[in-house]
Each structure stands twice: as C-alpha cells, then as structure tokens.
C-alpha cells in the first residue's frame, strides 16, 4: 500500500480522513478471528496438550476440517469484497470519515481505482485510500447534479426579500432565477418544491409590475421598433409609396 503523508499544524500531525479510514480498517481486521488466529490456536492446543490424555486423531481431523471451512469462507468473503469494490470504479460515492475532533462527516468523490491488500479492498478517491467498509452511499451523477442545482436554486430564492419588498435592485437576481428555471429539464424541476415554484412566479409578476411602474416596459417597446421586424414593415411602406 502506498505511503500517505500527514499534514502538520501547530507542530502536531493532523490525521486526514483517509488515514482515519485506513486506521479503522486495520484495527477492525486485527480484532477479527481469521484463519491465522485459528491455526495458532490449533498449534497451541497440540503443543500444550496433556501427554497422558492426548487429543485423538479424529478430533484433530475434525478441527482441521473446521480450519478448512474458515479458510474457504474467508476466501469467499475476500472475493466478494473485491468484486464489490471493483464495481464501484468510476462511480460517485460518499465515504464516512471523521475529522480531527472525531466528529463524523462525509467525503464525496469519484472512485478512480481499487487497491486490494491483506484480503481487504480500499477505494482510491483523489489519490487517497478509504476502506470499503466506510462506504456510505453510491450516487448517480445525474441525480447529484439535479439535486445540487435545485439546492442552489432554493438558496438563491430564499435570499430574496418578501415579494412586497421587491424593487429594481433585485431585477437581475430574479431574471437569473427565471432563466435557470426555464433551462431546467423536467427531471431537474422535479427536485423543486411546488412552494418554491409558486414563489418564483410571484417574484416574476411583482418585478413586472415594478418595471411597468418605472416605465421600463415603455422603453423596451421603443427599442423593439428599431429591430429587424419593425424595419421590414417600414421598407414595405416606402415601396408602396414609390409604386404609387
């Protein structure tokens, strides 16, 4: 396994979330009963048995059969863990970690590759390794993007004042929210609550009233006469005069 560097802050080593995950995985593996521990117990039993009442060959065979079963079960578990970890390569995931204070938090990222060592699988995210057992959630990227867009939209919407307090200084923010909403797919819009959609419509209507009161719509109408559709109508009128 690759060596991980630890950051130092105020003269003390700060344990990263990756190192905390690896430390936890190593500790849990040592606390478990694996085939090596089973074999050590069997050897100790043979070494310290009563010479006057030695263990029978039948019992040794039975214990050896149990050892073989433990080994096969462990191999099956390792194969299953490796297959599970390999299937996560390229997926977006959340990993359960802890910060320097021991508080739980989630690490988000894409699984770049998998390292398998000592019958345990480790997920590589941003060049840091995390134990597979710390996996919290596997996330579909389209789902996450839609969720994040809806979340950011809601935060921006909630920053606006009450509808009655809207003036032209909020026009740019409301226009931006309206554009974002109109460009959302139906799937992305499904992440918005009906309450927020209704609130956006009220802001749009209120801004329209404010602009009309300020005379902005009249100015926009004058500008439209100078656009191509208006110019085309003028040319036709001129042509009619010449023909007459």
Helix/strand/coil for 132: helix
* pTM (two decimals): 0.54
Q: What is the pLDDT of residues 40-77, one digit of tens each?
A: 777 777 777 767 666 666 766 676 667 667 667 766 77
Q: What is the pLDDT of residues 164-189, one digit of tens each?
A: 999 999 999 999 999 999 999 999 99
Average pLDDT score over the chain = 76
pLDDT of residue 3: 44
pLDDT of residue 23: 57
R_g (Cα) of the chain, nearest Å: 34
| Structure tokens belonging to residue 222 | 């004058």
Question: Is the confidence at residue 236, as pLDDT, over 50?
Answer: no
Cβ–Cβ < 8 Å for 171, 211: yes
Which stretches within the chain are classed as H helix? 17-31, 35-47, 57-86, 141-158, 171-183, 186-189, 194-214, 216-224, 228-243
With cut-offs at 50, 70 and 90, classify the pLDDT of residue 121: confident
């Amino acid at each position: 396994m690759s060596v991980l560097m630890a950051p130092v802050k105020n003269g003390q080593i700060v344990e990263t979330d990756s190192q905390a995950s690896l430390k936890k995985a190593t500790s849990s593996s040592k606390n478990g009963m694996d085939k090596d521990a089973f074999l050590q117990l069997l050897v100790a039993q043979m070494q310290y048995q009563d010479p006057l009442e030695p263990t029978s060959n039948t019992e040794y065979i039975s214990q050896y059969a149990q050892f073989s079963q433990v080994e096969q079960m462990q191999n099956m578990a390792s194969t299953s863990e490796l297959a599970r970890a390999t299937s996560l390569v390229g997926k977006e995931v959340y990993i359960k970690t802890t910060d320097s204070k021991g508080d739980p938090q989630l690490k988000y990222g894409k699984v770049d590759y998998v390292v398998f060592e000592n019958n345990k699988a480790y997920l590589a995210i941003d060049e840091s390794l995390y134990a597979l057992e710390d996996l919290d959630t596997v996330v579909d990227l389209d789902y996450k993007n839609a969720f994040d867009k809806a979340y950011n939209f809601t935060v921006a919407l909630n920053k606006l004042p009450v509808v009655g307090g809207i003036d032209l200084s909020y026009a740019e923010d409301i226009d931006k929210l309206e554009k974002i909403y109109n460009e959302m797919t139906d799937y992305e819009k499904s992440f918005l609550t009906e309450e927020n959609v209704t609130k956006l419509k009220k802001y749009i209507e209120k801004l329209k009233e404010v602009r009309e009161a300020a005379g902005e719509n009249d100015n926009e109408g004058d500008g439209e006469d100078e656009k191509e559709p208006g110019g085309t109508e003028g040319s036709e009128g001129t042509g009619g005069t010449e023909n007459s």
